[in-house]
């Protein structure tokens, strides 16, 4: 009987080995014929045939092994007992570990990110008819990104990614130019329209954690309407990698439903039965495969959809923003807890920031309690001029679809309206600068109150800041040569805003300075003592001229008081060239020479009072001599 049992066991083992071999061959056939992911299975089968063969018969023949219990009990019990406690450990341990790692970001105390000096500038080309009608034949305009020099060193991966993107856009731009040149050369000019290809950037966030950009694309090569769309994307500032929804969201599985219902609430396009479910399923698919466009902002995350994607062409590009205040109940190692929808790293934003608004589009002020204040959205709308395409009859502000303040007393150049949203702690401001048809510029500062009101300095209806404009990044940072620019959009720190403004000293010049917003007074203050001339304007002396010579390191130290009455005095000779470098509000001018020396002189004080910034109005003499008698090369405004 024992022999029969033993023979039965041996036969069963042989049968098992043969079956395992057959399975192995079967898997290889599947791999070569159908499956591409079966590689690990043959390897594991190849290396573990004996345990597989012995394990199954051991369990089955356990009742028959009683006569050989003494020699086989210990080895039989040890493998049987060890896997038994091990299996629950393998299945139970990952559950709390995964829950802990999934929301580990919530336990980190992130420092406030530092703002980056990131700007957008446009390169391009336009061609017009040469028959005197000056009609546009085509226009190509592609925005590029530029990172400040210091930040290029701090974030080399981000800088490299921006450089690669700019090079790609230069290729796209040149291809569009070549294509349009071919169109017009073949006589395919459009009667009522012109060809165009445009890519515009709005920088939504730029700090040491994330850089987010909204990209507006539009191209027209004939037909009923142009092809256009708006998308957004975000980049990790440290790695330079494009972020996915999974990188920034704690609950991507439920996100699609939240986006769909938010879209329906905003646009009301999916009310029919089953439409909202179809929309949710579509968005879930985009999130899963990594094709969902989004941008991490300072107050929430915005999701973008192009025309035809979830609506008709007439519906245009659609977008919706979910606030950083959104949360959900997540399963953690300590049980259910309320977790932020978006990861804590991206919810951590600077106390102060300033971003450019796009004219005609709004900004959702998501962290204001709309139920209490009735204040959720701010929009600056244009009033187009009926006769001139390039002009506006005015710009007016709308809050919650109600007109709050109109500035339509004079005509504006359409491309010279600059609007910035500024946040400083709990205070919000809108800064708008306009350039009118008379070339006069005005800058307005408006406070947005939590009660839904728009206000300004109580002593003025509108605060006029003498027409300064936020200085484009290309004039402030970097040493690149810039050929042409249609637009300039830059993220700035409102505590130290670089601005340009016209300053009449030694003729008509533009100077650059740093200002910061004073929330209590609702106005602007200069951050430093010195203004820099935007251009190193050369002037040639008509006669000998005495000036004080200075140490530049001493002169531009904010803690030093340089009066211009220096011990060293030099007499500059007629024909020598000087270059305007800096000046102060009381008309002290600093200049350099070709041999590297620096000098200074003070303009005569006019009898006129000071303007709002404490800057003297135009004066035209130095020590009683008219500047036109002293210098050649002075420029005056028309």
Predicted pLDDT of residue 617: 58
Predicted pLDDT of residue 340: 94
Predicted pLDDT of residue 79: 45
DSSP β-bridge partners for residue 615:
none
The total of other beta-carbon atoms located within 10 Å of residue 119's CB is: 28
Percent of the chain with pLDDT strictly greater than 70: 68
Tokens at 168, concatenated? 């790609």
DSSP β-bridge partners for residue 448:
428, 454
Contact status, residue 591 vs residue 599, Cβ threshold 8 Å: yes
Averaged pLDDT for residues 102-118: 91
3-state secondary structure 225-267: CCEEEEEEEEEECCCCCECCHHHHECCHHHHHHHHHHHHHHHH
Contact status, residue 454 vs residue 405, Cβ threshold 8 Å: yes
Q: Which helix (H) or strand (E) holds 8?
A: helix 2-33
Predicted pLDDT of residue 408: 59
Give the pLDDT confidence of 35-80 residue by residue, as tens digits: 233 333 334 333 333 333 333 333 333 333 343 444 444 444 444 4
Q: Work out the widest C-alpha separation in the chain, in whole angstroms.
A: 133
Q: Give residue for tokens 């704690």.
A: 250
Q: Which helix (H) or strand (E) holds 372?
A: helix 370-373
Predicted pLDDT of residue 431: 83
Confidence of residue 610 (pLDDT cuts 50, 70, 90): low
**What predicted TM-score, i.e. pTM, was given to this entire model?**
0.72
Contact status, residue 512 vs residue 498, Cβ threshold 8 Å: yes
Predicted pLDDT of residue 108: 93
For 430-443, the DSSP string reads: EEEEEEETTS-EEE
Does position 373 have pLDDT exceeding 70, yes or no? no
Q: Cα separation of 383 and 359, whole Å?
A: 11
Q: Give residue for tokens 């006569």.
A: 67
Predicted pLDDT of residue 295: 96
Predicted pLDDT of residue 406: 64
Listed ranges 36-45, 205-214, 325-334, 540-549; the one with the highest mean pLDDT: 205-214
Predicted pLDDT of residue 411: 67
Does position 638 have pLDDT exceeding 90, yes or no? no
Average pLDDT, the chain: 76
Predicted pLDDT of residue 205: 94
Q: Give residue for tokens 């953690």.
A: 332
Q: Cα separation of 462 and 444, whole Å?
A: 6
Query: How distant, in Å, are the alpha carbons of 450, 525, 616 from that of 608?
Result: 41, 21, 7
Pairing between β-strand 497-504 and β-strand 538-541 as defined by DSSP bridges: unpaired
Give the three-class secondary structure for 404: strand
Confidence of residue 430 (pLDDT cuts 50, 70, 90): confident
Does position 282 have pLDDT exceeding 50, yes or no? yes
Residue of higher predicted confidence among 410 and 233: 233
Q: Cα separation of 309 and 279, whole Å?
A: 10
Predicted pLDDT of residue 440: 67
Q: Which helix (H) or strand (E) holds 514?
A: strand 508-518
Of 165-169, 241-245, 378-382, 412-416, the one with minimum mean pLDDT is 412-416
Predicted pLDDT of residue 620: 82
Tokens at 156, concatenated? 């080399």
Confidence of residue 174 (pLDDT cuts 50, 70, 90): very high
Q: DSSP label at 603?
A: P
Contact status, residue 324 vs residue 250, Cβ threshold 8 Å: no
Confidence of residue 444 (pLDDT cuts 50, 70, 90): confident
Does position 293 have pLDDT exceeding 50, yes or no? yes
Predicted pLDDT of residue 394: 73
Does position 286 have pLDDT exceeding 90, yes or no? yes
Does position 484 have pLDDT exceeding 50, yes or no? no
Give the pLDDT confidence of 122-133 residue by residue, as tens digits: 888 999 988 878
Confidence of residue 609 (pLDDT cuts 50, 70, 90): low
Contact status, residue 506 vs residue 539, Cβ threshold 8 Å: yes
Q: Give residue for tokens 């179809």.
A: 278
Confidence of residue 414 (pLDDT cuts 50, 70, 90): low
Predicted pLDDT of residue 428: 84
Predicted pLDDT of residue 20: 43
Of 211-220, 368-377, 590-599, the one with minimum mean pLDDT is 368-377
Predicted pLDDT of residue 488: 62
Predicted pLDDT of residue 33: 28
Of 26-35, 83-92, 368-377, 567-576, the one with minimum mean pLDDT is 26-35
Tokens at 562, concatenated? 């340089």
Of 547, 465, 473, the residue nearest 506 (C-alpha):
547
Q: Which helix (H) or strand (E) holds 84?
A: helix 83-92
Predicted pLDDT of residue 168: 93
Does position 212 have pLDDT exceeding 90, yes or no? yes
Structural domain boundaries in the chain: 2-92, 353-494, 529-632
């Amino acid at each position: 009987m024992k022999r029969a049992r033993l023979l039965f066991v041996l036969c069963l083992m042989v049968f098992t080995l043969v079956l395992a071999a057959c399975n192995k061959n079967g898997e290889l056939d599947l791999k070569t014929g159908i499956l591409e992911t079966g590689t690990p299975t043959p390897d594991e089968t190849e290396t573990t045939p004996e345990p597989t063969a012995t394990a199954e018969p051991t369990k089955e023949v356990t009742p028959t092994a009683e006569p050989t219990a003494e020699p086989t009990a210990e080895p039989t019990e040890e493998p049987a007992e060890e896997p038994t406690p091990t299996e629950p450990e393998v299945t139970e341990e990952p559950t709390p570990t995964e829950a802990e790692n999934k929301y580990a970001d919530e336990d980190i105390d992130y420092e406030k990110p530092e703002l980056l000096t990131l700007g957008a500038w446009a390169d391009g080309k336009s061609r017009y008819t040469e028959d005197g009608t000056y009609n546009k034949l085509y226009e190509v305009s592609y925005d590029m990104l530029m990172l400040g020099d210091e930040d290029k060193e701090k974030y080399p991966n981000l800088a490299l990614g921006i450089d690669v993107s700019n090079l790609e856009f230069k290729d796209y731009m040149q291809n569009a130019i070549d294509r349009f040149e071919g169109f017009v050369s073949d006589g395919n000019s459009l009667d009522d329209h012109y060809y165009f290809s445009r890519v515009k950037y709005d920088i939504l966030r730029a700090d040491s954690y994330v850089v987010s950009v909204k990209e507006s694309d539009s191209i027209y090569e004939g037909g009923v309407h142009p092809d256009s769309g708006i998308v957004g994307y975000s980049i990790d500032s440290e790695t330079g990698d494009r972020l996915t929804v999974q990188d920034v969201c704690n609950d991507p599985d439920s996100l699609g439903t939240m986006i769909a219902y938010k879209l329906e609430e905003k646009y009301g396009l999916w009310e029919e039965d089953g439409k909202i479910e179809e929309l949710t399923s579509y968005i879930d698919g985009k999130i899963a495969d990594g094709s969902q466009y989004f941008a991490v902002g300072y107050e929430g995350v915005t999701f973008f959809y192009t025309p035809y994607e979830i609506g008709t062409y007439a519906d245009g590009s659609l977008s919706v923003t979910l606030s950083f205040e959104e949360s959900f109940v997540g399963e953690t190692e300590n049980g259910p807890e309320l977790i932020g929808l978006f990861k804590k790293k991206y919810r951590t934003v600077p106390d102060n920031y300033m971003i450019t608004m796009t004219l005609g589009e709004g900004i959702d002020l998501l962290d204001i309690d709309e139920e209490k204040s009735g204040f959720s959205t701010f929009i600056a709308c244009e009033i187009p001029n009926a006769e001139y395409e390039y002009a506006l009859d005015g710009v007016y502000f709308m809050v919650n679809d109600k007109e709050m303040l109109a500035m339509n007393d004079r005509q504006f150049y359409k491309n010279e309206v600059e609007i910035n949203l500024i946040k400083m702690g709990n205070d919000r401001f809108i800064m708008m600068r306009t350039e009118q048809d008379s070339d006069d510029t005005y800058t307005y500062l408006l406070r947005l109150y939590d009660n839904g009101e728009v206000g300004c300095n109580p002593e003025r209806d509108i605060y006029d800041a003498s027409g300064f404009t936020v200085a484009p990044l290309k004039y402030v940072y970097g040493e690149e040569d810039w050929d042409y620019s249609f637009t300039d959009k830059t993220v700035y720190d409102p505590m130290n805003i670089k601005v340009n403004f016209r300053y009449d000293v030694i003729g008509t010049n533009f100077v650059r300075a740093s200002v910061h917003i004073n929330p209590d007074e609702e106005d602007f203050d200069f951050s430093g003592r010195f203004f820099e001339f935007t251009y190193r304007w050369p002037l040639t002396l008509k006669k000998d001229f005495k000036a004080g010579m200075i140490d530049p390191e001493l002169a531009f130290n904010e803690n030093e008081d340089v009066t211009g009455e220096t011990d060293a005095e030099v007499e500059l000779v007629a024909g020598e060239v000087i270059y305007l470098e800096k000046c102060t509000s009381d008309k002290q001018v600093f200049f350099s020479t070709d041999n590297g020396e620096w000098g200074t002189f003070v303009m005569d004080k006019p009898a006129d009072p000071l303007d709002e910034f404490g800057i003297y109005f135009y004066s035209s003499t130095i020590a009683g001599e008219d500047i036109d008698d002293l210098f050649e090369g002075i420029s005056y405004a028309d």
